C-alpha cells in the first residue's frame, strides 16, 4: 500500500516545475535559493548534495496553542507557526527524493495506532538584522507538560489518497492544509509518533514565543531523514 501511495504521489506531482524568475526570489532579510538546488515547484527545492528538501515559509503565529508547525497558506494559520504555498503533493514527492519512506497516518479505529514513517529532522534557517540563524524546528514548539522543547522527531506519515464522493476525483488529504502537525490528523503529511490531541482542553503543545522570530519573517526549512548519530537535545 505504501508503495502504491508513493507511486501515485509521484504521478500527481509529475508536472514540470515552474520556472523561478528573478522577481520571485526572496529579497531584503530573506534567503535566496542556492543555484545548486533543483526547483520542484513554488517555494520548494531539492538539494541533491545533501539529499534534503527545502521549503520556504513565513512566520504567521508566535504564541498560543498549536495544531501545526507548518500549514498550507490560506488554511490553518491560527494554529500554525509557519505557512507555505508549497504544494503538499510536491512536498511528498520531494521527501521521497531524500530517501524517506512514508508509513501511515494516525489511526483511531479499532484502536489508537500512532503515525509511522521515516523520522524526519527539520532545521529552520532565517535572517535577522543581516545575521543568519539556525534552529532545530522542535525548539520553536513547547511541550506544556514538561515546559521544555518538543522532544520527538516528526515522522513521514504520508497523508492518504481518497476518492471525492461528489467529483469522483482522487484527492490528496494533505491538500486541506495539514502539512507538519503537532496534533494527530489522518490527513497529516508529517506527524508526531505519539498520541497528541487536537482538543482545546487536551492540547499539549504551544509556540515558544521567545524563540520564534517576528511575524512575516521568511524561513527556509531543511528536511531530511534523521541520522542515527548521537545528537544534542533541543
Cell numbers placing 153: 522527531
pLDDT digits (tens, 9 = 90+) for 117-175: 999 999 999 998 889 999 999 999 999 889 999 999 999 999 999 888 888 888 899 99
Reduced to 3 states, what is the DSSP secondary structure of residue 24? helix
Domains of the chain, residue spans: 2-225
Tell me the pTM: 0.83
Strand runs labelled E in 62-169:
68-72, 80-84, 102-104, 116-117, 119-128, 131-136, 141-143, 148-149, 154-155, 161-163
Q: From CA 178, how far away is CA 75, in angstroms rounded?
A: 9
User: Quick one: which of 62, 70, 14, 97 has its CA closest to 183?
Assistant: 70
Q: Are 85 and 232 in contact (CB under 8 A)?
A: no
The reported pLDDT for the residue numbered 21 is 41
Amino acid at each position: 500500500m505504501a508503495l502504491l501511495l508513493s507511486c501515485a504521489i509521484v504521478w500527481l506531482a509529475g508536472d514540470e516545475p515552474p520556472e523561478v524568475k528573478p522577481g520571485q526570489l526572496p529579497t531584503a532579510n530573506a534567503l535566496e535559493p542556492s543555484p545548486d538546488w533543483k526547483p520542484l515547484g513554488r517555494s520548494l527545492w531539492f538539494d541533491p548534495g545533501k539529499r534534503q528538501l527545502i521549503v520556504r515559509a513565513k512566520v504567521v503565529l508566535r504564541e498560543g496553542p498549536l495544531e501545526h508547525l507548518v500549514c498550507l497558506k490560506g488554511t490553518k494559520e491560527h494554529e500554525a507557526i509557519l505557512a507555505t504555498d508549497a504544494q503538499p503533493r510536491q512536498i511528498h514527492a520531494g521527501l521521497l527524493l531524500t530517501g524517506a519512506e512514508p508509513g501511515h497516518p494516525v489511526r483511531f479505529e479499532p484502536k489508537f495506532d500512532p503515525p509511522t514513517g521515516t523520522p524526519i529532522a527539520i532545521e529552520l534557517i532565517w535572517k535577522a538584522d543581516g545575521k543568519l540563524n539556525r534552529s532545530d524546528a522542535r525548539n520553536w514548539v513547547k511541550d506544556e507538560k514538561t515546559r521544555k522543547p518538543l522532544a520527538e522527531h516528526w515522522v513521514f506519515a504520508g497523508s492518504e489518497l481518497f476518492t471525492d464522493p461528489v467529483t469522483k476525483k482522487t484527492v490528496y488529504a494533505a491538500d486541506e492544509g495539514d502539512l507538519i502537525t503537532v496534533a494527530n490528523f489522518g490527513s497529516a503529511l508529517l506527524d508526531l509518533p505519539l498520541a497528541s490531541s487536537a482538543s482545546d482542553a487536551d492540547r499539549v503543545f504551544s509556540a515558544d514565543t521567545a524563540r520564534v522570530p517576528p511575524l512575516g519573517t521568511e524561513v527556509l526549512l531543511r528536511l531530511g531523514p534523521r541520522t542515527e548519530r548521537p545528537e544534542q537535545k533541543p
